Amino acid sequence: MKKWKQYVWLLALVLTLGLAACSNNAEPAKETKQEAKTEEAAFPVTVKDAVGDVTIEKEPTKIVSLIPSNTEIAYALGLGDKIVGVSDFDNYPEDVKNKEKIGGMEFNVEKIIALQPDVVLAHASSAHNSEEGLKQLKDAGITVIVVPNATSLNDVYASIELIGKATGKGKEAADVVQQMKQKIDAIAEKAKEVKEEATVWVEVSPAPEIYTAGKGTFMDEMLTIIHAKNAAGDQEGWPMFTEEDAVALNPDVIITTYGYYTPNAVEQVLARPAWKDVPAIKNKRVYDVNSDLVSRPGPRLAEGVEEIAKVVYPDIFK
CATH number reported for the structural domain that contains residue 240 in this entry: 3.40.50.1980
Q: Out of 120-129, 153-162, 173-182, 219-228, which region has the weakest mean confidence (pLDDT)?
A: 120-129
pLDDT of residue 126: 86
Q: Are residues 163 and 212 in the same domain?
A: no
Domain assignment present for residue 293? The answer is yes
What is the average pLDDT score of the chain? 89
DSSP symbols for 283-295: TT-EEE--HHHHH
Model confidence band, residue 37 (pLDDT cutoffs 50, 70, 90): very low
Domain assignment present for residue 26? The answer is no
Which has the higher per-residue pLDDT, 62 or 33? 62
Domain assignment present for residue 7? The answer is no
Model confidence band, residue 99 (pLDDT cutoffs 50, 70, 90): very high
Q: Are residues 200 and 243 in the same domain?
A: yes
HSE on the CB side for 271, CA within 13 Å? 7
**Would the pLDDT of 11 be above 70?**
no
pLDDT of residue 148: 97
Q: Are residues 52 and 112 in the same domain?
A: yes
Residues in the chain: 318
| Last-in-domain residue among 127, 142, 176 | 176
Q: Are residues 80 and 171 in the same domain?
A: yes
Q: Are residues 281 and 243 in the same domain?
A: yes
- State which residues form the domain around 154: 45-176
Q: Are residues 165 and 230 in the same domain?
A: no
**Would the pLDDT of 264 be above 60?**
yes
pLDDT of residue 318: 85
- The rounded distance, in Å, linking the Cα atoms of 169 and 181 is 18
Q: Are residues 247 and 283 in the same domain?
A: yes
Q: 3-class SS at 131? A: helix
Q: Are residues 143 and 214 in the same domain?
A: no
Domain assignment present for residue 71? The answer is yes
User: What is the total count of domains within the chain?
Assistant: 2
pLDDT of residue 42: 84
The tens digit of pLDDT for each residue in 201-234 reads 999 999 899 999 999 999 999 999 999 999 999 9
| Last-in-domain residue among 176, 204, 228 | 176
Q: Are residues 122 and 217 in the same domain?
A: no
- The rounded distance, in Å, linking the Cα atoms of 260 and 269 is 15
Q: Are residues 275 and 215 in the same domain?
A: yes
Domain assignment present for residue 35? The answer is no
- The rounded distance, in Å, linking the Cα atoms of 141 and 133 is 13
Domain assignment present for residue 185? The answer is no
Q: Are residues 161 and 198 in the same domain?
A: no
**Would the pLDDT of 101 be above 70?**
yes
Domain assignment present for residue 11? The answer is no
Domain assignment present for residue 318? The answer is no
Peptide bond into 60 cis (omega under 30): no
Q: If you ran DSSP here, which 8-state letter would residue 47 be given?
A: E
Model confidence band, residue 26 (pLDDT cutoffs 50, 70, 90): very low
Q: Are residues 73 and 104 in the same domain?
A: yes
Strand residue runs (E) in the chain: 45-48, 53-56, 63-65, 83-86, 100-101, 119-123, 143-147, 199-205, 210-212, 229-230, 240-241, 253-256, 286-288
| Last-in-domain residue among 126, 146, 176 | 176
